[in-house]
Amino acid sequence: MRRIIHFGVLLPDYCGGPVSNSFTTPDKLRSFCKTAEKLGFTSIWHREHFTSTSATPSSYESVATMSAVSQMVEKPRLGIITILPLRHPVILAKETATLDVLSNGRVSLCCAVGHREHEFEALGVNMADRGRRFVESVEILKKLWTENNVSWEGEFHRFSNVSVDPRPVQKPHPPLIIGSAGRSAENPQRFEKLLRRAAELGDGWYAAITMAPESVKKAVDILKTLVKRDVEKFSFMAHKYVHITDGDAEDARRTVSAVLNMSLEDARRQQLVGGKEEIIKKLEAFTNTGITHFNIAPLTFDHKVLEFFAEEVIPRYSP
């Protein structure tokens, strides 16, 4: 049976830290997004990081960036991977509802708990509370997207008679994807607990980029037993960094070091980094896990990764 997988792309708008400040420009962003749409990628995604360090780059702010992207392309869905415990749910509900209206109903929101301690410190959020904050914020988002005059008395948020207008175009609300369990694969009890949370709260699950294919498959199999509604409408998602090393090896080494803060050898083991045939073979391990969506995360704005996937990879998994 032919596996049907939808392919999207994460924006490579890395900036700050070890990455040159000239790495990202509005013209590069526009050209990249238009090329992704022309080549048939079904979604464009942005993952969120608020701060950079000497070892880790940051990104453009996600909602502002995707608002700009929404006016650059007409067909691809617009995905935001947010660090939910660092977001106020009332503000995020307003932002994403507005973006859903301005994009004619194309927004998907992936909520993750976050893992960079310095970001929590910078924003004054206790990292130990992130799990409970996460669950509370998801529940608030859903209420604000679907109800008027919402009142909430929780551990972290309290408000009365709040309505968010305009409401999202998508009903009952934009797809809510839960990113979880990536760092718990070796702890079966916690692994299943976090997957259960994803099944109960979300419309899909997003694997952490650190997860190996066998862990992703294990998670998909468990989730299929936990999802109580129509599992065919539940999304199973993953992404990996992608960089084609055919050509200048030293340039590949510099790029991998700046963006991923690892050696080229480690990147080849952990990500889709290598020659084209090597990438195709590595990807096969992920497409065999049961995922329904796969997002590629190029390390640069060079369009050759987009073209390679559109010409040699995506047709293998198209209807």
**pLDDT tens digits for range 9-57:** 999 998 888 887 667 788 999 999 999 999 999 999 999 999 888 888 8
Burial category of 20 from C-beta neighbours within 10 Å (exposed 0-12, middle 13-18, buried 19 and up): exposed
Average pLDDT for 179-183: 82
Average of per-residue pLDDT across 251-268: 92
**Cβ atoms < 10 Å from Cβ of 169:** 17
The pLDDT tens digits of the residues spanning 220-246 come to: 999 999 998 889 999 999 999 999 998
CA–CA distance, 220 with 289 (Å, rounded to integer)? 7
* CA–CA separation, 56 and 259 (whole Å): 7
With tokens 């701060």, the residue in question is: 51
- Cα separation, 287 vs 216, in Å, equals 10
Both tokens assigned to 224: 């299929």
Q: Summarize pLDDT for 102-161 with one digit per residue, the tens.
A: 999 999 999 999 989 999 999 999 999 999 999 999 999 999 999 999 999 999 999 999
Radius of gyration of the chain (CA): 19
261, 18 in Cβ contact below 8 A? yes
- CA distance linking residue 106 with residue 8, whole number of Å: 13
Burial of 128 (0-12, 13-18, 19+ CB in 10 A): exposed
The domains located in the chain, with CATH, are 6-314 (3.20.20.30)
Give the confidence band of 1 by pLDDT, cuts at 50, 70, 90. Answer: low
